[in-house]
Amino acid sequence: MRQVLQDLRRGRTYLEEVPAPLCRPGTVLIQTTRSVISPGTERMLMEFGRANLLQKAMLQPERVREVISKIQTDGIAPTLEAIFSKLNEPLPLGYCNVGRVVECGDDELGRTIPVGTRVVSNSNHAEYVTAGKNLVAKIPDDVPDEEAAFAVPGAIALQGIRLMAPTLGESVCVMGLGLIGLLAVQLLRANGCRVFATDYSADRLRLAARFGATTFDLSQSGDVVAAATNFSGGRGVDGVLITASTDSKEPIRQSARMTRMRGRIVLVGVAALDLDRTEFYKKEITFQVSCSYGPGRHDPAYEEQGCDYPAGFVRWTEQRNFEAVLDLLAAKKLDVGSLITHRYPIAHAEDAYRELDNSNALGIVLEYEEPPKRMIQRSVRLAAPKGSESLQVGFLGAGAFSVRIILPLLRRQGIGLHTIASQRGLSASTAAKQFGFAKASSDVPGVMQDRDINCLFVATPHHTHAPLVSAAIRLGKCVFVEKPLATSLGQLREIHSAIAECTESRGRLPSIMVGFNRRFSVHVKRAMATLAGRTGPACFQYTVNAGRPPSKGWLSNHDSSGGRVVGEVCHFIDLLRHMADSRITSVSAVRTGRAGDDSCLVTLTFADGSIGVVNYFANGPKNLPKERLLISADTLSIEIDNFRETVIRCNGTMRRNRSLRQDKGHAAEINAFVKQVRQGGASLIPVDQLMEVTLATFAAEESIRMGESQRMADWHGRLQAVASEETAHCQSD
């Protein structure tokens, strides 16, 4: 399918052929018929893309502080790699989409939004898009697709008005008559308000006047505050809706001066937030920033998981605002036809975006072929497979970690990079071109079943790891999976069963590897060589400054990440297991008593008498190095500082080794895995150790919950007992 993208590094807008996205549970797949380019938002993105690095930094000063902090802790090279990797990701453009449902992710959704339904969504400019069930609204029969495409910008204007809460007869000033501003004028008039509208464009002012507003031309000399005050009968306007996009502080300053005592100002667009306290204090003015379409915006539970807010408590959500605008269109209360200045077929999208340099451009409609000339294509072939014929890789997942760390290392191996897949398709297409894969796809099951692929890399969300690993084992494919191996005991049981089945049916187990890269770091190897001659137990103290994840990010979603103990602390438990070179016998863990704090302390005991402590805290400063490992054994001490420096002290001597850059072992890990797969040897990390470390993370999680130490023998027993029951059940069937 074709999709409109923005190159953030070079500022180019272009049309790209990418795989159609996969329709997941809770979503619908939509074949687009119309979409609208939003001049304000999308022009701003184009200008950001055209800016050089210094200008980009000046536009996002808060990001500069994050960059400086990362340089201090990780070094300049990894920081620059992260910046350029982010800029290399193309940005999907557009958020005003109309089309017909062609697939439903589950039966329940299919009953409420059946195939063939015309819907509006906040999806991108692409021939096929997916949208969650709370982000689509059915279009009334008498509303044409072209008009319905304006429902989303209409909802943005409507949400700003709802926050202002104007009443019948109130006077409201609308600053900025772009697409959203002109929709706001009409919505306010439909609400029974008197409207005073300001802009620099004579054409837009004429449109606003036609919609019933009193207008003021900012390009002419005159006092806008005096004009607004006169318009309101000398009292001052009841409210100001700022829909302009500017870096000037004048809109805020003028709004405060023209607003009456206890008036309301709502910022829908962009303006410099340089508030004059005196004006706001004397008048007790209420100021609020509107967040897009309404309640639910940026809430993963609402947008991604489909959890709606009860109408009795939250009357107007994103979806219900979409519906309200569509109802107004059906009732002929909104004139959006007058806002259309250009129409372009999707094939000429690049020409359409050039119109944004034209100050007169307002509503630019993109038209899509109907019916489609091609079937839904979830794979795009880019080139013939390259590299070794004996090793063909299928890569599942194309997130930031894969693109920055794993894929650059794989590209150097000279192996066959066959197919890379991601659910949305776009990230797979971008990565395929960057790293030389023959195909890009959104069909993850199809990649799994491809007989030409004999080695799978799994870098998908945590909760999907175990099912994909189990399937790969049963298919006899070698598999490298990013940590964790599983997020629940049930998932680990399934892997255990798959291993038993594969061993019995094929006589041998394909190579299984979990991305515990720290084992392969040069600093760890140096420490292990020093510890090789120890005669007594060792003590390990691992301090991890993990930082606090975004409150609504994927890591905070226990269902998808498994939680931070299972999803992240597994790394550190594995490293201590590796360095102790002894079985874990017990696990105990405690978490701070503060709600929402992931900080915890995990204590491990080993069969040889060694002990280990992982001090994992999320409340430390960002400029503190992330990881520090102290090891004491016999008469020696080893200190690994953030995988950049190792200090070994023994009998009054000290050796210090520092690497040029942070070495967490990723390169050595990938090299060793590819070499091992080529040679057909056993797994790099014994499978029983992978199971043991995973069980230890489950034990730590349960220890936190139950408040008591966990014996690892009990967890091995739980795994073995259930696995045996499942095997016996399968045989009886």
Span 200-229, mean pLDDT?
95
CATH 3.40.50.720 residue spans of the chain: 154-289, 379-517+670-679
- CA dihedral of 432, 436, 439, 440, whole degrees rounded to 10: 0
Its pTM stands at: 0.85
pLDDT for the residue numbered 376:
83
Diameter over CA atoms, the chain:
92
pLDDT for the residue numbered 62:
58
**Dist CA 455 CA 505 (whole Å):** 19
**Dist CA 620 CA 161 (whole Å):** 41
**Dist CA 408 CA 401 (whole Å):** 11
pLDDT for the residue numbered 548:
80
By the 8 A CB rule, do 484 and 567 touch?
A: yes
CATH 3.90.180.10 residue spans of the chain: 2-150+336-367
Write the pLDDT tens digit of every residue in 387-442.
556 889 999 999 989 999 999 999 999 899 999 999 889 999 999 999 999 999 99
pLDDT at 198 over 60: yes
Whole-number Cα distances in Å, 582 to 528, 585, 609: 13, 9, 9
Span 145-161, mean pLDDT?
97
Write the pLDDT tens digit of every residue in 66-123.
656 665 566 666 666 666 666 678 889 999 999 999 999 998 899 999 999 999 999 9
Domain 530-662+686-715 sits in CATH 3.30.360.10: yes
Confidence of residue 595 (pLDDT cuts 50, 70, 90): low
HSE on the CB side for 633, CA within 13 Å?
27
Q: How many CB atoms lie within 10 A of CB 150?
A: 28
Residue with tokens 């993105």: 45
Write the pLDDT tens digit of every residue in 301-359.
999 989 999 999 999 999 999 999 999 999 999 999 999 999 999 999 999 999 988 77
pLDDT for the residue numbered 66:
62
HSE on the CB side for 261, CA within 13 Å?
3
Confidence of residue 727 (pLDDT cuts 50, 70, 90): very low
φ, ψ dihedrals at 27, nearest 5°: -130, 165
Write the pLDDT tens digit of every residue in 620-633.
777 788 999 999 99
By the 8 A CB rule, do 355 and 382 touch?
A: no
By the 8 A CB rule, do 242 and 223 touch?
A: no
pLDDT for the residue numbered 540:
97
φ, ψ dihedrals at 399, nearest 5°: -80, -175
Work out whether strand 584-591 and strand 645-650 pair parallel, antiparallel, or are unpaired: unpaired
pLDDT for the residue numbered 94:
93
pLDDT at 59 over 70: no
**To the nearest whole percent, how much of the chain has pLDDT over 70?**
89
CATH for the 154-289 domain, from 3.40.50.300, 3.40.220.10, 3.40.50.720, 3.40.1390.10: 3.40.50.720
CATH 3.30.360.10 residue spans of the chain: 530-662+686-715
- CA dihedral of 109, 115, 118, 124, whole degrees rounded to 10: 70
CATH for the 379-517+670-679 domain, from 3.40.50.720, 3.90.1010.10, 2.40.430.10, 3.40.50.2000: 3.40.50.720
pLDDT for the residue numbered 387:
52
Q: In angstroms, what is the C-alpha Rg of the chain?
A: 30
Write the pLDDT tens digit of every residue in 664-682.
999 999 999 999 998 887 7
pLDDT for the residue numbered 730:
39
Span 49-53, mean pLDDT?
66
pLDDT at 173 over 70: yes
**Dist CA 358 CA 348 (whole Å):** 17
Confidence of residue 57 (pLDDT cuts 50, 70, 90): low
Domain 2-150+336-367 sits in CATH 3.40.47.10: no
Q: Which residues pair with 266 in a beta bridge?
A: 241, 288
52 exposed, middle or buried (CB, 10 Å; 0-12, 13-18, 19+)?
Answer: exposed
pLDDT for the residue numbered 640:
96
The chain-wide mean pLDDT, for the chain, equals 90
Which residues are CB-neighbours of 357 under 8 A, at least 6 positions away? Answer: none
pLDDT at 722 over 70: no
Two tokens, residue 176: 């900025």
Q: Which of 128-142, 461-475, 557-571 is predicted least confidently? A: 557-571
